[in-house]
Amino acid sequence: MSNQAVYLDAPGSALRLDAAFIPLSGHNDIVMHNHALAINPIDHTQASSSGFAIKSYPRVLGQDVAGIIHSIGSNVQGFAIGDRVIAHAWSMRTGENADAAFQLYARVPAANAAKLPQTITFSEGVVLPLALDTAAAGLYQTLRLPWPRLSASNGGEEEEEEREGGVLIVYGGSSSVGIAATQLATASGVRVVAIASEKNHGLAKEVGAEQVFDQKDADLVEKVVGAVGKDKLVGIFDAIAVDATYKHDLEILEKFGGGDLIITHPPPKDLPESVKATFILGLGEFSFPLWKDFIPQALESGQLKARPEPLVVGKGLESVQKALEVYAAGVSGKKVVVEL
């Protein structure tokens, strides 16, 4: 039994496959034998010449993992060796290669992991972790929505009671983060109006969006404003967060006299005073209640769907380089995954 990892030796360099130590679990950690990895925008950003948030090299990258528990820390409860789990790897916070995803064995916080039902494959489940944490940062840490509730069929209270109300606009409703935001907001009692490419409208509706509009529609702003109607606008969650989407975001918010804009990249220039833009990172203890009280139960019942579907581009760590290239070329309505 041995570990291997994919190393980035310098900003923008090709990835290198080499040996690595099997991590030791801390008191509150689990060590996973990884069976699937997913590619996120931050992985591509870090692997590029920017070297975003990397203090030293060589560096192992990666956030999303799915696999089987190899070892457990002394304080960990609710998990056992051999459990199938998904988790968010925390190397961006710790700076330790042992805590990164792109290797055969990775150390993760037990509080940022959830059991994966047998009905969901590793490749399907691995699309979720970072997306859920990023969505949670916007919805619960920033907008302060109530925590999502399990559906009545899953042992929760009746959905009609004590709903939060209001409308959340999700830009990028078929992206992994947009899908997570839609599913969580809906479970928190908020109505979702999504913006996505026309070919992905079915996906956005499948995960809970009440209405979906084409991002290329010349009347997009008017249609979205009309869909919100007289309901309270909770805010806009822009999971794409580029100049083209910011233009629409600000035009929509102007119709409501301003409001909250949750973004996954730095804010646009010349932001109106009426708009409060918050750049979010899905990393921190704030999401621990979500992983304990909602994600495992909702996965088991099917309330939380493992979407988007994985686009498996290869098997083995040697496929991570290709996976980053496939992501960079552009993928819509799916998430790039490597099986191990």
What percent of the chain is predicted at pLDDT more than 90?
Answer: 92
User: How sure is the predictor about 62, in pLDDT bands with cuts at 50, 70 and 90?
Assistant: very high
CA-closest candidate to residue 242, choices 177, 291, 172:
172
Q: Do domains 3-127+308-339 and 133-279 have the same CATH topology?
A: no
What is the overall mean pLDDT for the chain?
95
User: How sure is the predictor about 162, in pLDDT bands with cuts at 50, 70 and 90?
Assistant: low
Sequence ranges of the domains in the chain: 3-127+308-339, 133-279
- Whole-number pLDDT of residue 161: 47
Which positions ≥6 away from 27 have C-beta within 8 Å?
Answer: 73, 74, 75, 76
- Whole-number pLDDT of residue 192: 99
Lowest mean pLDDT among 84-98, 153-167, 323-337: 153-167
- Whole-number pLDDT of residue 193: 99
- Whole-number pLDDT of residue 158: 46
Q: Does domain 3-127+308-339 have CATH number 3.10.450.50?
A: no
Q: Which class for 163: exposed (0-12), middle (13-18), buried (19 or more C-beta within 10 A)?
A: middle
Average pLDDT of the segment spanning 267-291:
94
Lowest mean pLDDT among 159-163, 172-176, 197-201, 291-295: 159-163
Average pLDDT of the segment spanning 114-120:
99
Name residue 183's amino acid.
Q
Which CATH code for domain 133-279?
Answer: 3.40.50.720
User: How sure is the predictor about 138, in pLDDT bands with cuts at 50, 70 and 90?
Assistant: very high
Lowest mean pLDDT among 48-52, 221-225, 240-244: 48-52
DSSP letter (8 states) at residue 285: G
What percent of the chain is predicted at pLDDT more than 70?
Answer: 96
Query: Cβ distance 188 to 170 under 8 Å?
Result: no
- Whole-number pLDDT of residue 182: 99
Instruction: Extract the runs of DSSP E, i.e. beta strands, from the chain.
Output: 3-8, 15-20, 29-38, 59-60, 64-72, 84-88, 105-109, 113-115, 167-171, 191-196, 211-214, 233-238, 259-263, 275-279, 309-315, 334-339
User: How sure is the predictor about 156, in pLDDT bands with cuts at 50, 70 and 90?
Assistant: low
Say if residue 38's pLDDT is above 90: yes
Say if residue 157's pLDDT is above 60: no
DSSP letter (8 states) at residue 266: P
Say if residue 163's pLDDT is above 60: no
Say if residue 209's pLDDT is above 50: yes
- Whole-number pLDDT of residue 160: 47
- Whole-number pLDDT of residue 49: 84
Say if residue 159's pLDDT is above 60: no
Say if residue 312's pLDDT is above 90: yes
DSSP letter (8 states) at residue 154: G
Query: Taking the CA of residue 162 as centre, how many other CA atoms within 13 Å lie in the half-sphere pointing to its CB?
Result: 9
